[in-house]
Every structure is written in structure tokens, then in C-alpha cells.
Amino acid sequence: MTRLGLRVRAWWAALTAVLLVAAGGAVMLPAAPAYAAQIDAQQSTPTAKAQAKAASVDISCEPGVVYSVSGGGQLRKIVNGSSSDLGAPATKQERYWSVWYGWQYRDVPVQYFNGLGIGESGSPIYGFERTGNSGYSLGATVYRFDAKTGSWGPVGEPIANTGTNLVAGAVDLKTGNYYYGGYADNGRSFKLYVFDSSSDSSRVKGTIDTSADLGSTANGDIAFDRNGNLFIVRGSGTTTTVFSVTAASLAKANGGTIASSNSAGFTTNSNVNGVSFDAAGKAYLGTGDTITSYDMPNWSNKQSFASGSWSSTDLASCSSPATITLQKDVQGGRAKSSDQFGLSLKQGDTELGATTTTGTATGIQDEIVGPLPAKRGAEITFSESAATGADLGDYARTYSCTVDGKELAESSGTGTSGTVTIPNTGEAVVCTITNAPLTANVSIHKDVVDENGANKKPGQGWTVGAKATATTDSVTSNPTAATHKTNSNGNAKWGLKFSKTTGRATVAISETQQDGFEFKSGSCEITHLDGSKDTKKLTSDKSTDLTGIKPGDNVDCTYLNKVRDTALTLVKKVDNTAAAGTAKDTDWTLKAAGDAASANKTVEGKTGSTEVTKAKVKAGKYSLSEVGTPKGYEASDWVCKPTSGSGVVTSDKSSVTLKSGDDVTCTITNTAKTGAVTWGKTDESGNALKGSVWTLTGPDGSELTIEDCAAASASECNGQDKDPVAGKFSVTGLKWGDYTLTEKKAPAGYILDDTPHTFTVSGSELDKKLGSYTNEQKPQVALPLTGGTGSQIYLIGGAALLAAAGAIALLKGLRRRNRKH
């Protein structure tokens, strides 16, 4: 109720009361005069006349047109330094008490209007009335501007304490949704609300980290481009920083933290409370009474755009700037999982923004620079750098730029940096630096276990190999040597570098076995850039080829070696060659008796049996022996050698000392001894006779002629008889078997004794003593007397022989005649 209305009503009430008292009775109070209600109606709507005069409003989205709003809710259009009011200022309803009508509502001017936002083609238009002018606990009521009537009106229910200073608002040029919010936590974050026009209600969209380059205060504004990217422009002192939120990040936000990137800080105006951009790439920063323009993205070419006593709280436009974004594409994966990359945008020497990737994800990385509004024709330099120990030489590096998804001419190449010029048409310029690894890593890990397969530990000082051979393009290895010794952790590593991303290689994996160890198991796991894995089983310490190794592969091989069982093998060999012996190797029992160090371990058995073949024993000294019944054999010394490979074995003629892991074979050879036979030749008186010749027929039927040797010593006997004494015989080197000895020629003057003498040579009878054989002397012939007597004997004998021959011939003739008759 107005003051005049109250005075009228009070005067009328007093006059009535006086009349009532004077009349001495009760009277009904008359109704308030009509002109009092008229005065209330007229003065309760102070803006009614202005609203009645408001008309439709045209909104222009051309570059160079900026809109502002004052704390009093007056929308203004600023072009070429001049401004004009659009429509009526916003009002809000105030509740009051009427004496005549009770509680009533009336429109009063707003005081803390802010958050101007204008949609694509100039519609919709939103703002909000705050509950106060300062602090971080403000609430608000959203207003919508009706361009047809030129008036503001509240929509939806007010929101209470937002926990922010509520300084900004904008309409998403892509979706038409109205967003607003303010800084919280003393400017360290920006809390963003979205207004749902279908339900006329607000909800929290999320929070953006704005702590970078923060000064003592935080004010500013927000704006959108036509692609739905959000720009939070914060003014802190005289420093302006843009925090960019992509449309994709905004779309998936649901009340939590929203990913963003921030530009570098630029010195601009102080007390910035509003921002707008246009299609030419201009930025407009507003304070209460000034608007200043800048060329983006480096906030250069500062120009005074307009000034006036507007008490402006916010700026907006419906013009969309071109933008520049730098992103990183890691194709396939990182050469090392810890590799990261720094990204930077510059205009001339001025850095526009920078970031560093994190994590191990492949593809387009979450960390980007921009999008940042940019002036048409601006030349922007983009680059990458290595971070957290990465080596860019490990990657194939290319770059390319697109505008609205189409490739920009002359904006692609190889290397770590490039330039792009913002074109006169198109909206979103996106430059991508792509890295694909050129390296592969090969690691071999060695473990060893004891004889029982327990107590695993890294194998240090083992020689392992990874020899890379290119099958496509070329490949180099670091270190260049194909073999390498494992370190104290049991590891050896190689880095492979390919000439191209299409390179392929075969890697030969191997190890060099050490004495006392044996291969137990092994495998190679190949992890590819896409995370898929292949496994190759290693079946021995011999070289195994891994084929198709390509850039980005990580090859992790393991070898497990076991201390070889301490093993002892006893072997019996029998040599029957010279003597034609009959014993077999199994006719003997072999034995190794250990000392106290070996826990008195004893192994015993026939050659070839499991008991004495690779018998598992403990380290220690073992005495070697054999027992057996065969006779006629001579045993050699024990000879001990490694069962396979090379190594040193400590042994003597009858013992061996084993170290842990030794695998030793000890051999003893028994050789059949040849036989010998002796005999003599005497006369009837037992006197030795020289000059006899004998035939010795052996088991195989072969014959030896043995002539009596008569010499000063045995060394002078070159024939079969080795006894130098005349009439005595000794024949050696006889194989086992049955023999026949026969005199072939008797001594001179003696009658030949052709009686066969048999004997047998065997292991139990190697030395045969046949004794002496006697020859009779031939009879003596009588000599004739002197005078011819001697010749008469021969004449008489001859006549007698002739007579006998004639008688025989006569007898045969008579027999023939008798047969005829």
C-alpha cells in the first residue's frame, strides 16, 4: 500500500470512530473510499507503465553485437560503442500487508540480476535474480525473457543456498539448455546448474576445477559455442583464464566432477564480470561500466568496445566463435607403460595452454588443450614433448588438423610440431598429434631351484640370448650383443627399435646351460599393444624362435633351471677280443660306497641296471669296487667322466668325489687274459733235444708252426717259441679253447713222434704245462769189413729182390690162364 493510500485510510477510520463515539452507539464502518483502492492499485506496480510501453525485441547474432544486463534487470544491446535498452527491466513480486485486504503482492524492481544467456538465433534468453550481492551462499530465481513482449518473467521454483557466488549464465547454442552457476570454495571450483525448461526446474550438473592460477578473488562468466563446448572465463585480479569443457564431457556429467582443460593466464581487465564471443573470434570482457574487445586466443589487440553507466553484471551473445583444440592420439599403446606426453598450443611466442597426458589408455587421450575460441586467420603452433622419462624417438610421430571433421590442407605432416591457420569458414579446428611406438621390449628372467625343485631364487650371471632378425623393414637391438648375462635379479633386457610401424622381426630366445644344472621349464608371454597376449612354451635351453614380433610388443620370457640331481652311473665293460673270453659284463657286481658327507650312501648292482644307472646320490666321496666269479680277467682302474657335456671330475683309480649337481659315469674294464703253453723235447735218457718242429692247431682250426728256438735270450726268439733254451718250448698269446699239438719234425737222428697232444686254455687254466715228450733214436747201421765184404752184402740183397719179383710175376700169369679155362 502506498503512503498516500495509508493516509486516506487512516483519516477515514479516525473520522468514523469520532462519529461513532458522538452518536453514543455502534455503527458499521463504511467501506474504504474507492479512490484509496485506486491509489493502492496504481502505486503497487511502479513498472506497470514501463511494461505497458515495452514492445517486441529483435536479437541479432552478428559479430560485433554484444548484449548486457544490469543488476536492475535491464537488457541492453551494444553495437559500435553505443547501447540501447531492450524491453522492460525485470521485476519481482514483494509481499505486503493491506489494512483493508490483508497480505498482498506487488511488483518491485530486481536488485541482483545476473547470468544473461542467449540461445542460437537469439532465443531463448535467460537470466536469474540472486538472493544477495556477495558471498558464497546465494540462491536464485531463473527468469526468461519474452522477446515478443519485451518482458522478463520468473520461471520455476527458486533454488536456495547454492554454496556459490552465482555470477554466470549462458545458453548452450547446440541444445538450447540454460546453464548457470558460480564459484565455490573461494574460487577453487565452479558449480554448474542446468535449467530444465520442460519441468521449469534446476539441478546440479557438476563441478569444474578452477584452482589453476587462482588469485584472491574469482568472478567472470560462461559462454558456449555452436558445438556445445562450454567456456568458463574466470577473472581473478587482472588475470583472465579460460576453462574449457567439451560438449562430450558436459553431456555425460551427472553431478560429479566434470573434466576440463585450462588455458594459460592472460593479463586483461580487472573486475571482469561478463564475457561474450563472436563468430569473428573476438572476445568481449565486461566490467560494470566498460566492455573491452580482444583477439582470441591470445587475448591480443585490446580495444575499448563501449562504456557507460550501465551497472552491467553480465554479457552475452548468440554468435559462435571458431575454436582450436589440440589432442593426443596414442595408437596401439605406449613403448613403456610410464610414457607420457606434454601438449602445447602457442600463438607466436605466447603459450595458449598446455597439458600432460596420464594413465595408460590408448586412442585419444582425456587430456587436451582447448577448445579455445580463436580469431579467423590466426596462426597457431602446436607441439608435443616427452614426459616422465618417455623418449619420443621410440615413436613414429605424425600430426594432422581438421575443421568440422574435414582435413585441413597443408596442416599435416610428420614430427612433433606443426602450425595451423584458423580458416575463414568452419567452426571446430582440431589438431591431433599421433604417436605409434617403434619399439618392442624383450626381457628374459632366470630362476633356479635346488635338486628337489624348491628354494627358487633369481639366477645371476647366466648367459641368455635374444637375437632379433628383421623380416619386414629393419630392426636394431640395444644392447647390440645377442647374448647378455642376467643381473642380480635374474634379468636381462633388450630394446628393439623398428624403422617403421610396419616392421616385423623374429627373435631367437636361448640360454647357455651351466654345469650342474638342467633345464626344467620356460615360456615367453608376448603382450601386444591392444592388450592381447600370446604364449610360447620353451621346451629346452636350445634356441626358440618367436615370430611376428612388432612395434609395441612386450616379450617377457622366463627360464627355470634346476640343480641337476647328483647322479652316479657305474659301468662294467668286458674285453674278450684278444683272448676270446667267455664272460659277460653282467657277471660282475659293481659297487660305490659313500662317505659320511654322502650320508654313507651306497649303490650296488649289475651294469645297466637302474640301481647303478643315474643313481641319485648326495655329494661326497665314493669308493669304487667290483665283485665277480669269472677267472682269467684283468681289471683296469676306474675311469670317471661327466655323463654328458664337459666338466671336471675329481677321481683316482678306485674312488670319485662328487659335487652337488654332478652327473658322473665311472667305468671299469675287465680284459680276458690270453693263455700260454710249455713243453719239452727229450731223448730216452731225459736229455733235451733241439731242432724239433711242431704244429699247434687252435680252436678255430688255424695252425701255427713252432720251431725250436735256441738263443742266448728270449728277446732273440723271433718265432712262436719264446723259450731260448733248446728243446724247451713256450707259446703265449693263446685264445681260450681247445688246442692240438703235433710234432711235425723230429730232432735229427730221432724217430718222429706224431702222437697228437690235446689241451684246453680257459680262464681257470691259462698256463698249460704239457711236460716233455721223448723221441726214440733211430737204429745204428753196421759198417762192412776191409776187402770188399761190404759190397757183397748189397749184391746179394739185390739178387734176392729180383728173384722175389720174378716169382710174383710167374704167379700172376698162372692165375690169368686158370680164369680163361
The CATH number for 498's domain is 2.60.40.10
Tell me: do 454 and 512 sit in the same domain.
yes
* Position 217 confidence tier, pLDDT thresholds 50, 70, 90: confident
Last residue of a domain, one of 418, 437, 456: 437
Tell me: do 384 and 486 sit in the same domain.
no
Reading the block at residue 103, the C-alpha cell is 497480505
* Position 796 confidence tier, pLDDT thresholds 50, 70, 90: very low
Cα separation, 361 vs 529, whole angstroms = 10
Residue 583, domain member (yes or no): yes
Residue 593, domain member (yes or no): yes
Residue 136, domain member (yes or no): yes
Q: Any idea what the CATH number is for the domain that residue 350 is in?
A: 2.60.40
Cα separation, 618 vs 658, whole angstroms = 8
Q: Please tell me the predicted confidence (pLDDT) of residue 503.
A: 93
Binning the chain into helix, strand and coil, the percentages to the nearest 5 are 10, 50, 40
Residue 558, domain member (yes or no): yes
* Position 99 confidence tier, pLDDT thresholds 50, 70, 90: confident
**Mean pLDDT confidence for 115-141:** 95
Cα separation, 147 vs 127, whole angstroms = 13
Q: Please tell me the predicted confidence (pLDDT) of residue 782.
A: 57
Q: Is the pLDDT of residue 500 over 50?
A: yes
Tell me: do 506 and 447 sit in the same domain.
yes
**Mean pLDDT confidence for 182-205:** 94
Tell me: do 279 and 394 sit in the same domain.
no
Reading the block at residue 584, the C-alpha cell is 659277460
Residue 410, domain member (yes or no): yes
Last residue of a domain, one of 517, 532, 563: 563
Mean pLDDT of the chain: 88
Cell 739185390, located at residue: 798
Q: Please tell me the predicted confidence (pLDDT) of residue 645.
A: 61
**Closest CA relative to residue 464, chosen from 558, 564, 548, 527:** 558
CA distances (Å), origin 287, targets 143, 221, 235, 265, 293 = 22, 11, 10, 18, 12
Tell me: do 623 and 725 sit in the same domain.
no
**261 near 368, Cβ under 8 Å?**
yes
Lowest-pLDDT range, 35-39, 55-59, 112-116, 612-616? 35-39
Give SS3 for 22: helix
Specify the DSSP element, H or E, that contains 38. helix 34-43
Tell me: the pLDDT tens digits for 690-710? Answer: 999 999 999 999 999 999 999
Tell me: the pLDDT tens digits for 397-420? Answer: 999 999 999 999 889 998 999 999
Residue 785, domain member (yes or no): no
Q: Please tell me the predicted confidence (pLDDT) of residue 337.
A: 87
Q: Is the pLDDT of residue 449 over 90?
A: yes
Q: Any idea what the CATH number is for the domain that residue 265 is in?
A: 2.120.10
Tell me: do 355 and 477 sit in the same domain.
no
The string of DSSP codes covering 470-493 is EEES-EEEES-SSEEE--TTSEEE
Q: Please tell me the predicted confidence (pLDDT) of residue 804.
A: 52
Residue 801, domain member (yes or no): no
Reading the block at residue 774, the C-alpha cell is 721223448
Cα separation, 342 vs 385, whole angstroms = 5
Q: Please tell me the predicted confidence (pLDDT) of residue 661.
A: 83
* Position 98 confidence tier, pLDDT thresholds 50, 70, 90: confident
Rg value, the chain, Cα = 62
- Residue 374: CB atoms within 10 A of its CB come to 27
Q: Please tell me the predicted confidence (pLDDT) of residue 648.
A: 79
Give SS3 for 14: helix
Q: Is the pLDDT of residue 809 over 90?
A: no
- Residue 82: CB atoms within 10 A of its CB come to 9
Lowest-pLDDT range, 31-40, 51-60, 718-727? 31-40
Tell me: the pLDDT tens digits for 752-771? Answer: 999 999 999 999 999 999 99
Tell me: do 240 and 141 sit in the same domain.
yes
Q: Is the pLDDT of residue 42 over 50?
A: no
Tell me: do 232 and 337 sit in the same domain.
no
**Mean pLDDT confidence for 670-682:** 97
**Mean pLDDT confidence for 572-584:** 96
Tell me: do 118 and 256 sit in the same domain.
yes
Domain that holds residue 737: 675-774
- Those residues with Cβ within 8 angstroms of residue 738's Cβ, 6 or more apart along the chain or in another chain: 699, 758, 759, 760
Tell me: do 557 and 445 sit in the same domain.
yes
Tell me: do 273 and 382 sit in the same domain.
no
Lowest-pLDDT range, 37-46, 306-315, 473-482? 37-46
Tell me: do 553 and 576 sit in the same domain.
no
Q: Please tell me the predicted confidence (pLDDT) of residue 655.
A: 95
Q: Is the pLDDT of residue 820 over 50?
A: no
Cell 529483435, located at residue: 58
Claim: this prediction has a pTM higher than 0.75: no
**Mean pLDDT confidence for 148-156:** 96
Q: Is the pLDDT of residue 28 over 50?
A: no
> How many domains does one find in the chain?
6
Residue 466, domain member (yes or no): yes
Give SS3 for 385: strand
**Mean pLDDT confidence for 532-540:** 95
The residue that leads in pLDDT, 6 or 554, is: 554
- DSSP assignment letter at 427: S
Q: Is the pLDDT of residue 604 over 90?
A: yes
The residue that leads in pLDDT, 334 or 622, is: 622
- Those residues with Cβ within 8 angstroms of residue 702's Cβ, 6 or more apart along the chain or in another chain: none
